[in-house]
Amino acid sequence: MIFEIVLPVALTGVIISAAAALKFRDMMASVVLLCAMSLFMAASFYILQAPDVAIAEASIGAGISTAVYVIAVSKTGRREDEKGD
């Protein structure tokens, strides 16, 4: 039951939040969506029976990486320019 229902939901969450992080012009929204992608990734690692990787991904991806991104965004501009790429 878990492999047929919960695992496709978690993997779809990874794809949707990663694709939506590219869409916004406000950088804080992209950072929050990257944190959500890391959370879905840790859930799917746990369902695939790899608990060491799940703990490492949850603590590093959703903790340290998000904190470094927030510090970097708060010291530079928050909005992406209209004609920049």
Partner 1 sequence: MDGKGSSRIVRNVTCMLSVPVMVFGLYVVLHGHLTPGGGFAGGAVMATFIALFMVSFGKDISRRLDSGPFSVSESLALLAFVGIALLGIQVTFFSNFLANSGLLFGLTVPFGTNPGFLGTGGVTPLMNLAVGLEVFSGLSLILIVMFRSGGDGDNA
Q: What is the 3-state secondary structure (H, E, C) of 41-65?
A: HHHHHHHCCCHHHHHHHHHHHHHHH
Q: Is the CB of 48 or the CB of 60 nearer to partner 1?
A: 60
What is the spatial distance between Cα 60 and Cα 52, in angstroms, rounded to a whole number? 12
Count of Cβ atoms closer than 10 Å to residue 29 Cβ: 13
Which of positions 51-80 make contact with partner 1 (CB under 8 A)? 51-52, 54-56, 59-60, 63-64, 67-68, 70-78
Residue 14 lies near partner 1 (rule: CB under 8 A): no
Instruction: Provide the binding-site residues for partner 1, judged by CB under 8 A.
Output: 28, 51-52, 54-56, 59-60, 63-64, 67-68, 70-78
